Amino acid sequence: MSAAEFAAGGQADARDIEVEAKAIFGFWVYLMTDCVLFAGLFATYAVLRDNTFGGPAGYQIFNMPEVLVETLVLLMSSFTCGLGVLAARGNRKAQVLGWFAATFVLGLVFLSIEVTDFHSLVTHGSSWTRSGFLSAYFTLVGTHGLHITIGLLWMAVLAVRIRKTGLTRGNVRRLTLLSLFWHFLDLVWIFIFTIVYLMGAARV
Amino acid sequence: MSDHAGPSILPAETRSASLRGYIFGFAGSIVLTVAAYLLVVGHASTNGVLVSALVLLALVQFALQLVFFLHLNMTTQQKWRLYMLGAMVIVVLVIVIGSLWIMGNLNARMTPAQEQQYMSAQGGL
């Protein structure tokens, strides 16, 4: 089975493998520098967490069941994204498009929960101008949301590309990089979930 | 680089091993997320223990996803990705711990009179 699959067009020459390895490493370096951006925002949040300036504290504004749903939706989208890459490695175009459609929808659900939440905070007078805590909160969570938005745009563009040109080596490479990006955003969310929401709700 | 060659196909055995990894990582992450959530909602323990438990659960989930979703491992190909990750962790720790240390120190050194002056300059609480 595997030998037949390789013969069917999977034979990569050494140069292609090297190009792909370099692209993945380069993208990994970008992700690590993005971690430093988030570290700055996490540090700002940790410093300003208790500076509520008479406004609401975290435990008063966080809707925990909703945050748990948001977290599980993002986790599931990370899983479907992984299955999409796996389908690409098996050269199954329809499956790839299906898994990435699922990932896109789940990402969109996550984003809409977040935007709805932000909107209701702002309309109830708890916008980023209210206190140091809220400025740091909106910046940290909003930056993650911005990354998710960019990931969704990337996913949409790549899906169109794959529909048109198929699972070429270049497209599979782009898909692999996108999946790294998406899994990375789930990694960052673990810490937002723990440090911002759980520790905020527990008042510790 | 040839853009129209076939995709880099993995053998079926490798793919099913990878699938098992994804399922394990996904199930493990759900368990860890829900466990952390229940600890907080149930107010299961004292503050110190709760914080340590939450940090531990987050770090385990971080490692789980790094291995099963981002496919980080100890092979030579991955060596440089691990080094980059190590460097990133050091930078992140310096930024976060350093900021908390410095700002906590500044906060502790602020006299009540300075605090009062600052508050009145800002229009009060």
Q: Chain B closest CA to A110's CA: distance in Å?
A: 16
- Judge whether A3 lies within some domain: no
Q: Give the model's pLDDT for residue B125.
A: 53
Q: Tens-digit pLDDT profile for chain B (125 aa)?
A: 444 445 567 888 888 888 999 999 999 999 999 999 999 998 767 888 999 999 999 999 999 999 999 988 877 778 889 999 999 999 999 999 999 999 999 988 888 888 778 777 776 55
Percentage above 90 pLDDT, chain A: 87
Closest residue by Cα to residue B85 from A192, A176, A28, A38: A28
Q: Give the model's pLDDT for residue A7.
A: 42
- Judge whether A20 lies within some domain: no
Q: Does B78 or A180 have the greater pLDDT score?
A: A180
Instruction: Give the Cα separation of A95 and A87 in Å (integer).
Output: 6
Instruction: Give the Cα separation of A114 and A185 in Å (integer).
Output: 14
Closest residue by Cα to residue B40 from A29, A71, A166: A71
ipTM of the complex: 0.90
Q: Tokens representing A180?
A: 């790294």
Residues in chain B: 125
- Judge whether A94 lies within some domain: yes
Do the chains contact at A72 and B33, CB–CB below 8 Å? yes
Give the burial class of B17: count Cβ atoms within 10 A of its Cβ; 0-12 exposed, 13-18 middle, 19 or more buried. exposed
Do the chains contact at A186 and B40, CB–CB below 8 Å? no
B24 in contact with A, Cβ within 8 Å? no
**Residue B71 DSSP class:** -
A and B: number of Cβ contacts within 8 A: 177
Q: What is the pLDDT of residues A6-27, one digit of tens each?
A: 444 445 678 888 888 899 999 9
Q: Give the model's pLDDT for residue B115.
A: 77
Q: Give the model's pLDDT for residue B7.
A: 53
Instruction: Give the Cα separation of A82 and A86 in Å (integer).
Output: 6
B53 in contact with A, Cβ within 8 Å? no
| pTM of the shown model | 0.90
A201 in contact with B, Cβ within 8 Å? yes
- Judge whether A5 lies within some domain: no
Q: Give the model's pLDDT for residue B17.
A: 87
- Judge whether A55 lies within some domain: no
Do the chains contact at A16 and B47, CB–CB below 8 Å? no
* pLDDT of A125 strictly over 80: yes
Q: Give the model's pLDDT for residue A8.
A: 43
DSSP labels, A115-169: HHHHHHHHHTT-STTS-HHHHHHHHHHHHHHHHHHHHHHHHHHHHHHHHHH-S-H
pLDDT, mean of residues A159-166: 96
> Among A190-194, A199-203, B14-18, B96-100, which is the least confidently predicted range?
B14-18
- Judge whether A127 lies within some domain: yes
pLDDT, mean of residues A68-96: 96
Do the chains contact at B61 and A10, CB–CB below 8 Å? no
* Range(s) of the domain holding residue A147: 25-49+61-201
Do the chains contact at A76 and B40, CB–CB below 8 Å? no
Q: Give the model's pLDDT for residue A3.
A: 44
Q: Give the model's pLDDT for residue A199.
A: 95
Q: Give the model's pLDDT for residue A122.
A: 97
A83 in contact with B, Cβ within 8 Å? yes
- Judge whether A190 lies within some domain: yes
* pLDDT of A140 strictly over 70: yes
Positive or negative CA dihedral for B2, B6, B7, B10? negative
Q: Which of B22, B61, B125 sits opposite A79 (nearest CB)?
A: B22
Q: Give the model's pLDDT for residue A33.
A: 95
Instruction: Give the Cα separation of A195 and B54 in Å (integer).
Output: 9
Q: Which of A6, A46, A75 sits opposite B29 (nearest CB)?
A: A75
* pLDDT of A28 strictly over 50: yes
Q: Give the model's pLDDT for residue B3.
A: 46
Closest residue by Cα to residue B91 from A110, A29, A117, A2: A29
Residue type, A133: F
CATH number of the domain enclosing A164: 1.20.120.80
